[in-house]
Structure formats: C-alpha cells, structure tokens
Amino acid sequence: MSESRLWQRLMRLAEIGARGDGGVDRQALSPGEIDAWRLLLSWATEAGLEPSTDAAGNLFLTRPGRDRALPPGLIGSHIDTQPTGGKFDGAFGVLAALEAATTLPTPARDLTVVAWMNEEGSRFAPGMMGSEAFADVRDLATIRAARDAAGISVGDALDALHAAFPDMPRRPLGFAPAFYIEPHIEQGPVLEAQGIPLGIVTGIQGKITWEVVIDGEEGHAGTLDMDRRRDAVMAFARIATRMQRDVGEADPIVKFTIGRVTVQPNAPSVVAGRVVFRIDLRHPDNAALQAHAARLEAAALAEAPPCAVTVTRLVDAPSNDFDAGLRDRLAAAAARLGLPAMPILSAAGHDARHLAPLCPAAMIFIPCREGISHSPEEWAEPDDVQAGAALLAAVVEELTT
Amino acid sequence: MSESRLWQRLMRLAEIGARGDGGVDRQALSPGEIDAWRLLLSWATEAGLEPSTDAAGNLFLTRPGRDRALPPGLIGSHIDTQPTGGKFDGAFGVLAALEAATTLPTPARDLTVVAWMNEEGSRFAPGMMGSEAFADVRDLATIRAARDAAGISVGDALDALHAAFPDMPRRPLGFAPAFYIEPHIEQGPVLEAQGIPLGIVTGIQGKITWEVVIDGEEGHAGTLDMDRRRDAVMAFARIATRMQRDVGEADPIVKFTIGRVTVQPNAPSVVAGRVVFRIDLRHPDNAALQAHAARLEAAALAEAPPCAVTVTRLVDAPSNDFDAGLRDRLAAAAARLGLPAMPILSAAGHDARHLAPLCPAAMIFIPCREGISHSPEEWAEPDDVQAGAALLAAVVEELTT
C-alpha cells in the first residue's frame, strides 16, 4: 500500500472543482463530478478493477475475487461535495477504498469500491440519493423527479452522466454485500481533542429535515401600515428566533440549523410575500430527536400568524447502531497495527446508515482540523489519512482472505 | 382629451412585461422597457412630439411651444416596474402626461413628458437614478457602476438602451424646468377610504435605506456544537426581530421593511457563513426618522455577536414639502372641475422629490384599490384615472397659456 500515492490522489482529485480559496465545489452530477469519475476510472482500470454503474448513478470499481459467485465486500464513500466543500469529505473514503482494493492480494470474494450518488444533498435535496435507491429506502422515480435551483431534474442529470460513459456496464439496482465499511473524516472535534487518530463509529445520530413555506402578502414598503402587514420575512425571523430558543439553546447535544432561506420577491422596497426555508435537526437519542421535532413544528405554527405556514418533513431518519462484530474486528485490527482508536458517535449522516440494514456495516473516522467540514478550511493530516487507510486495508484483508 | 384612449393605452402598455398573474415585470433598462419606449415613441411621434434622451437614460417627449426659448414645463413619472409590479405605478403618470401634451392647444412654452430611468430600484439599487442624475443629487459615474444580481452594470445597460435608439437626439443632463407635476397612484389606502378621487400631495416622507452584511462562519450542520457556532442566519433572525420590536412595532406611523435577504452558501446542511440584507425605513417627520435610524443601527450591532456586522446607509433622503403655490393652483382647478380633492402626504418616494429643489413641483394622487401596490393586485378605477388626468391637463393648460 502506497502512502504517498493516496495523499497525492487526494490532492489531485481536489483539483477537480477547485475553488480559489482552497475548497472544492463539485456538486452531485455536475460536469466536475463526471470529470472526477474519469479520473477514478483511469486509476481503477490501470489496477485491473472493473467499472460498473447502476440506475441511481452509483459508481462501482470491482477487484475480481477468486470466487465471483460470493457476495462482494463493499467499501467506499462519495465524491460529491458541498458548494463550499473541502478536499476530504467523501473523497478520503473512496480513495482509501481504492488503495485497499488495488494493493491487497487477490481476495477470496469480489471487493467493490463504491462512490455513492449525491451524498451531500446541496444541489439536489435531500442527500444520500444513491445509497437510498440502492437500499430501496426511497423510490428511484421520486429521486429522479427532484430538481436543482436551475430547474434541472435528477433524472435528466443522471441520464447525462450515463450518456458520458456509454460503454460502462450497468448492474441491477441494489444487492446484498458481504459487508460495508466506510472511512470518513470525523467532521467534529472529538478525535483531534483526544489526540487519537482513529474512531470506530458506534452509530449515526438521528436526523430530521423539513421544508417550511411561509405565505404572507406582498405590499409597498413605503405605504403599507405596519399593523396591516403579513410580512413573510418578519414571520421567518420570529420563527427562527423561537426555534433557536426552544431547541437550539435548550440542549447541549442537539444540532439545529436553518441553512437555506429564500425570499420572494426579494426586492428591497417590497414587503415579502413568501419565505421558504429548510431545517436540519440531529440528535443521537431518538426520543429527544422526536421531542425537539415537535417543538420546532409548534414554533412554526405559533409564530407564523398573521402569515400562513406549511411544514413538511423531508427526511425522518432515526439514529442507528453499526454492527458490533465488525466494530470489534476494527478495534482489534487497530490494536494489532499499534494505532490508538476509540469508539465515537457520528454526528453527521452517512451512506453507511442505509447499508446497515443490508449487511454488517461499520465506519472508520479520522480527525479533521478543529472539526471543520463543509468548508474550504477542511483539513486532515497525512498521518491520519494513512492510519485510516491502513485500518481499512487490514480489516478488508482479514474479511476477504 | 380622450378618456377611453388613456385607459386603452394603460392596458396596452401593461402587455409589455405582462406576468401570468395580471401583474407586470418590466424592470429598469430591461428589454421590456426598451419595447415600452418604442410603444411610447409611436404614440408621441404620431402626435407631433419630439423625442430626446440624456446620458442618464431619461426619455423626454416634447410638445413644441410658441416660444421655444422659455424653460419647458415638465410632466410625467416612470415606466419601469417592480418584478412583481402592477399596471399603474408609474405608467399612469407618464400616460396621463402624454394625453395632456397631446391634446392641449399649442402651449406658450415647450411642454415635455418625461419617463425617468429606474425609479423602482429593484433591479439596480437604489432607485430614482434618472431623476437623481438629472438633479445632480448623485454622480452619473456612481450610478453607472451599480450592478444587478447578474453582474450587469447600469452603465452597460444604459449603453444598450441608447444603442437601441441610435437616431434619438441626446440632450445635456439636467435643466431647470418651469414646473414639474407628477400624477401617480396613491399606493396607500387613504383616498379610497375617504371616497375622494384626487389627492394634492403635500410632501414625501423621508426615507433611509441600508445594506447590512452579517459575517459568521460556515460549518457542518450535523457536527458543529451549537455553542461554537457563528451562524449568520440566526444573527439575522435576532437582528430582524429586535428591529421589528424597537422600530416596526414602536410607532404607528413608521414604515420599516426588510424586503431582500440573501444567505451564503444557502445550503440546507451548512451553517450559514454570511447574510446580506436591505432595510427600508420611512417616516414623514425628519427627527423621528433619524431616531428610528439610530435604533436600527444599534439593534444590528447589539444582536450580531458572535457574528460581525457592517451597516451601510445607501439612501438618506429627508422628507420634503411640495410648492405651496402649485398645490393651491391644483386645489382650485379640482374645485372648478367639480372633482373632490384633499391634501395628502406621500408615504412612498417619487422622482418629484428630486425635482422640487429645481422648480415649483407638485404631485397628483388618485386612489388605488385597498392601497395595494408593488403587486399584481394593483388596480385603479377608470373614473379615477380620468379624474387625475383631467386635473393635470387643466393645470398644465393654465400654466402654459
């Protein structure tokens, strides 16, 4: 296994969609992601891996095993980024998996590297579309109907992706892997603060997302009396402030975010007629998650008047636990390698959530600087990248010998 | 003077930039406004009026008078609209002026109809660029540098406008008219509630606008602890709520609006790093206006932390009084015509504000339904349109005989 090659590939992949500020903007199904596929394919085919895709736009790169009738082992992550993303989120997992699949001795069963379609959900919401379709959590037709801000549908973008790779074999959507392991940066501060290079992920905190639509009434900013207004921006401000008080500031563990807000008509001298916004709520305890969700929905209904409000849940994913046997195996392998490791909860969602019902699944975390992610500032140290890749390779070899 | 012709022209002009919902989207210097110029020019030249423009993109249509050396009388308004505008705001004043200039007996002095460039300020902010340049309130170079959301500058859009009319004479920027009278819909509920068809405008309430930039720090919605966040959306919600409490709800006369809000990166699972928003504040009393302005600026500074904030005044226009002699003349003419009229304060800003220092200036208001404006619902009754046009024609005839 080549340490310097993995790091060089991380830096090379980050050139595709590079922002001027050191970050990466390579959103799902964009021309940049298609270029990134080409780069992965050049590395994979050079190493004898077999590419394939499925109807959901997931990319598979398979190292043939001795018995090809056995269910394959699956390892990987995603290569799409946030619009203001970094070099490591997703890319580290895919490239560490590629390194393992490339360098291990011929495995007993097929070993498949996967890059899931649209993990991030920034261009097309919600995210994890590829793994959701793969695991039959969400219907492909529903996924294809989602549109980006420019009105382009996932369906059209998927067709364009496949048209760019006309010769790539298409496999049926979904299968039962022998196991799934996803390496990823932590996207939180715990490992760095503890000085420990490896996290064996115990599970993923639950997540609920909403779209909220506030309907007021447009009017002239200079003439409409304040007490006759139904101002959607002011209703938004009240709702957001109440939600922050009732949920964001009420629990040291909860994560509550309003990251997207659009105002209509968004003109400086027009009282806003409509505001549409998204809520992202996460908590590791399912009862607490649902209790906070109820508080958020109550806050929207209480503070919206005199505007009207509709509150729609987009994602409702309870917290999950990863496979205990696989976690034990990861911990033992880390000890054998002499690498410190600790159990850790994943605060962020990952495709591994949807693989866990299909097969033994687990995740490996490595530290990232100051816990910063979804930002051009995102950074992981070469030694930690190497530690995560080494642990993956060790366990995969154990599982496929 | 043709009553049915004026109404028909209002409806015909509203077809240019027509929205599906009955409104009009014909923003400043857009292709639609160029088409609207062509339509006005066809009507004006048919009636023997002489077109001209100036470096600020104002359109002038002049009925030649007996003594062309005398300063012209100036009447009109604007033909640009808000993105969700109506059929009457601006267009009524220009078409009523065109009707008067077309049908009166040959005047003693030139009588010039004007359509000012970018009154609304929705595409390019702030508004009233044409009259500000004409009155030397704002430097033309500064105006040309302003850009729309797509990055197009006023300068480039102005050059494109002039290129579309290569044969139109260009007059020097600014002159001292003999008088200025602007007819307009009230954009408020007073005349309708009183059942009075004509308002003689006493003055325009003062207006201050700001751009506010909140700088926080981007982060991952699922991992960044709440107490470590510098969330620009939450800072916006606090600031807006505090401003509404301290100003919007504290004075029955004030008008306080946040109509434009943009969030960056505006992704559902990214804590927002930046919010930029506009404030529009109006009050007829200059001392109260400045006191509220100070409260707004204090609210932004108080509620922004842990985010940073910069607060920039874009427009700072005190309230003004229109010419008393001209107002008396309008009231007397209304009485002669048997049309009820009342004095009224303009809550909205108008180009007439910038003409008032140059010459005797006044405005005529007519009612609009429920006071609604800057909305597809905007509506004025044919009888009121006719009353406003008749009063304008009567006074202009008196002033130019």
Tell me the DSSP string of A41-93: HHHHHHTTPEEEE-TT--EEEEE--S-TTSPPEEEEEE----TTB-SSTTHHH
Residue B78 β-bridge partners: B116
What CATH architecture applies to the domain A207-317? Answer: 2-Layer Sandwich (3.30)
DSSP secondary structure letter of residue A382: H
Nearest-neighbour CA in chain A from B71: distance (Å): 33
Confidence of residue B2 (pLDDT cuts 50, 70, 90): low
**CATH number of the domain located at residue range(s) A3-205+320-400 in this protein:** 3.40.630.10
The label of the residue with tokens 């011929």 reads: A106
Q: With beta carbons less than 8 A apart as the criterion, state whether A144 and A103 touch.
A: no
pLDDT in tens, B194-211: 999 999 999 999 999 999
Quick one: what percent of chain B has pLDDT higher than 90? Answer: 92
**Any alpha helices (H) in A117-218, and if so which ranges?**
129-134, 140-145, 154-164, 190-194
- Contact check, Cβ <8 Å, B259/A272: yes
Nearest-neighbour CA in chain A from B240: distance (Å): 6
Q: Which residues of chain A have pLDDT under 70?
A: 1-3
Q: Rounded to an integer, what is the distance from CA B122 to the centroid of its chain? A: 10
ω into B306 cis (within 30 of 0): yes
Chains A and B form CB pairs within 8 A to the count of 237
**CATH number of the domain located at residue range(s) B206-317 in this protein:** 3.30.70.360
From the candidates A254, A374, A378, A379, which should be mutated to test the interface with B, based on the most B CB atoms within 10 A?
A374
Domain ranges of chain A: 3-205+320-400, 207-317
Nearest-neighbour CA in chain B from A298: distance (Å): 18
Query: Phi-psi region for residue A209, left (φ > 0), alpha (ψ -120 to 50) or beta?
Result: beta
Cα torsion angle, B277, B280, B286, B291, sign: negative
Q: Which 3 state secondary structure label does DSSP give B139? A: coil
| Residue A57 confidence (pLDDT) | 98
| Residue B125 confidence (pLDDT) | 87
Cα torsion angle, A240, A245, A249, A255, sign: negative
In the predicted model, is pLDDT for residue B16 greater than 90?
yes
Query: B119 to chain A: nearest residue by CA?
Result: A269
Q: From CA A32, how far away is CA A18, in angstroms rounded?
A: 9
Nearest-neighbour CA in chain A from B9: distance (Å): 24
The label of the residue with tokens 């019902």 reads: A357
Nearest to A226 among B222, B223, B248 (CB): B248
- Contact check, Cβ <8 Å, B375/A219: yes
Residue B248 β-bridge partners: none
Q: With beta carbons less than 8 A apart as the criterion, state whether B262 and A262 touch.
A: no
- List chain A residues with CB under 8 Å of B257: 221, 231, 269-271
pLDDT in tens, A221-274: 988 899 999 999 999 999 999 999 999 999 999 999 999 999 999 999 899 999
pLDDT in tens, B316-349: 989 999 999 999 999 999 999 999 999 999 988 8
The label of the residue with tokens 């751009």 reads: B211
Ramachandran angles phi, psi of A347, nearest 5° = -80, -30
**Token representation of residue A374:** 């979804």
ω into A126 cis (within 30 of 0): yes
| Residue B315 confidence (pLDDT) | 86
- List chain A residues with CB under 8 Å of B221: 255, 257, 259, 280, 282, 374
Query: B349 to chain A: nearest residue by CA?
Result: A222
- Contact check, Cβ <8 Å, A373/B220: yes
Confidence of residue B78 (pLDDT cuts 50, 70, 90): very high
**What mean pLDDT is reported for chain B?**
96
- List chain B residues with CB under 8 Å of A231: 257
Query: A237 to chain B: nearest residue by CA?
Result: B237
pLDDT in tens, B58-75: 999 999 999 999 999 999
- Contact check, Cβ <8 Å, A269/B121: yes
- List chain A residues with CB under 8 Å of B205: 222
Are B3-205+320-400 and B206-317 equal in CATH topology? Answer: no
Q: From CA A361, how far away is CA A307, in angstroms rounded?
A: 46
Cα torsion angle, B260, B264, B265, B266, sign: negative
Query: B89 to chain A: nearest residue by CA?
Result: A220
Q: Rounded to an integer, what is the distance from CA B229 to the centroid of its chain? A: 40
To the question of pTM greater than 0.80 for the whole model, the response is no
pLDDT in tens, B341-375: 999 999 888 999 999 999 999 999 999 999 888 89
The answer to ipTM > 0.85 is: no
Instruction: Please compute, for residue B352, the number of CA atoms within 13 A of its CA located in the half-sphere on the CB side.
Output: 33
Ramachandran angles phi, psi of B136, nearest 5° = 60, 35
- Show Cβ contacts of residue A86 under 8 Å, excluding neighbours closer than 6 positions: A23, A24, A372, A373, A374, A375, A376, A377, A378, A379
Q: Rounded to an integer, what is the distance from CA A72 to the centroid of its chain? A: 23
Q: From CA A62, how far away is CA B320, in angstroms rounded?
A: 77
Q: From CA B231, how far away is CA B304, in angstroms rounded?
A: 10
Q: From CA B12, how far away is CA B300, in angstroms rounded?
A: 45
- Contact check, Cβ <8 Å, B218/A258: no
Cα torsion angle, B89, B90, B96, B98, sign: negative
- Show Cβ contacts of residue B286 under 8 Å, excluding neighbours closer than 6 positions: B206, B318, B319
Nearest to B237 among A244, A273, A282 (CB): A244
Dihedral (C-alpha) B323, B329, B331, B332: value to the nearest 10 degrees?
A: 160
Burial (Cβ within 10 Å: 0-12, 13-18, ≥19) of residue A14: buried
Q: With beta carbons less than 8 A apart as the criterion, state whether B372 and B378 touch.
A: yes
pLDDT in tens, A293-302: 999 999 999 9
Query: Region B242-250: what's the mean pLDDT?
Result: 97
The label of the residue with tokens 């958020």 reads: A296
Q: Which 3 state secondary structure label does DSSP give A312? A: strand
Nearest to A266 among B221, B222, B260 (CB): B260
**What is the CB neighbour count within 10 angstroms for residue B328?**
12
Ramachandran angles phi, psi of B22, nearest 5° = 95, -15
In the predicted model, is pLDDT for residue B1 greater than 60?
no
Q: From CA B13, how far away is CA B87, in angstroms rounded?
A: 8
